[in-house]
Amino acid sequence: MKFIKYIFALTSISIMISCGGGDQKKEEKKSVKIGTSTSTSTNDENTVNVGLTGNDLMQFSAKEIKVKAGQKVNLTFRHVGKMELAVMGHNFVLLKPGTEIPAFSLEAANVGKDKDWIPNDGKDVIAHTKMIGGGQSTSVTFTAPEAGTYDFICSFPGHSGLMKGKFIVE
Ligand code: ZN
């Protein structure tokens, strides 16, 4: 952002210098327009806010999440149920390509609470939230990986059969 503004400022100055007399006003107007549209689209395309919930019936609110490669993803995850973390914990775990959901879930169950249900120090994971219980909310910010279709799951023991979806990067 700052960088773009800086470039824009330099461009305006050079336009002002190169144009003399009556043309100056016209050129200034034109360059302001360009500057405005550039900064707006940069904002919109660089950050995306994603809202996701999980409930007491082991359901995510979305089966598909779509973002664009390189976007900064602000994902807010809420547990809209009432059950406690120990019996109905939920998290959002975005798996790296090639990670098998059943095998990962088994390892997650094995490491359990001590590692927040993320096995192998997170080497199979692109991003994840912490595990939360009913009524709680959490968030995670990460950069969307390269284009492709990725799996997201809840890694609480026994949940990934139902609690899974596709994270699609375009
Ligand atoms: Zn869960």
Hey, how many other C-beta atoms are within 10 angstroms of the C-beta on 129? 20
- Which has the minimum average pLDDT: 8-22, 80-94, 127-141? 8-22
Residue 91 CA to ligand 1 center (angstroms) comes to 6
Residue 89 CA to ligand 1 center (angstroms) comes to 5
Which value, to the nearest 10 degrees, does the dihedral of the CA atoms of residues 59, 163, 79, 141 take? -140
Report the distance separating Cα 99 and Cα 167, nearest Å: 14
Residue 68 CA to ligand 1 center (angstroms) comes to 26
Q: What is the pLDDT of residues 110-126, one digit of tens each?
A: 999 999 999 999 999 99
Q: Which helix (H) or strand (E) holds 113?
A: none
Q: What is the pLDDT of residues 20-33, one digit of tens each?
A: 444 444 443 333 33
Find the angle CA(146)-CA(151)-CA(156) to the nearest 5 degrees.
135
Residue 72 CA to ligand 1 center (angstroms) comes to 25
The residues pairing with 169 across neighbouring beta strands, listed in sequence order, are 67, 148
CB 91 within 8 A of CB 156: yes
pTM of the model: 0.74
Nearest C-alpha neighbor of 42 from the set 14, 8, 76: 8
